[in-house]
Amino acid sequence: MNQFLEFELLPSVYVYSTKICSGITPLMSFREAMGETYILQKEAAEKNALEFSFPSRCIRLNTPTALTDVGITARVSKALCQNNIPCNVVAAYHHDYFFVPEPLAMNAMLTLNKGV
């Protein structure tokens, strides 16, 4: 696959939490046998005194892809790994999302924009 990938750094800082309050709309949530995971804005978590971890920035893959495409996550993960940037990936229906530690967000964008 030689498709050029276009990325966008979303403006908010996001965190992972196992708790949520009414009135908060998480960016994403996931139900596992062990419990719920919520990805929400750090500001909302702090305002509601929710415990959280992994303050991160979200990089959205804006290039149209199909759920059946092969190797997209591997390409992005490899580029970030080669630059020692941790990443949590969520593949949704329309876009893939890459959560990187907040202090490494700009370095991640530079890395990805070099061409993945």
Averaged pLDDT for residues 25-29: 96
Report the DSSP pairing between strands 53-61 and 7-17. Answer: antiparallel
**DSSP count for the chain of H helices, then E strands:** 3, 6
pTM for this prediction = 0.91
What pLDDT is stored for residue 28 in this prediction?
96
* Within a domain: 1: no
* Within a domain: 102: yes
Q: Is 56 exposed, middle or buried (0-12, 13-18, 19+ CB in 10 A)?
A: buried
Q: Give tens-digit pLDDT for 51-95.
A: 999 999 999 999 988 888 888 899 999 999 999 999 999 988 889
* Within a domain: 20: yes
User: What is d(CA 85, CA 108) in angstroms, rounded to the nearest whole number?
Assistant: 7
Q: For a pLDDT cut of 90, what percent of the chain falls above it? A: 81
Range of the domain at 75: 7-113
| Residue 1: pLDDT over 80 | no
* Within a domain: 104: yes
* Within a domain: 2: no
Domain total in the chain? 1
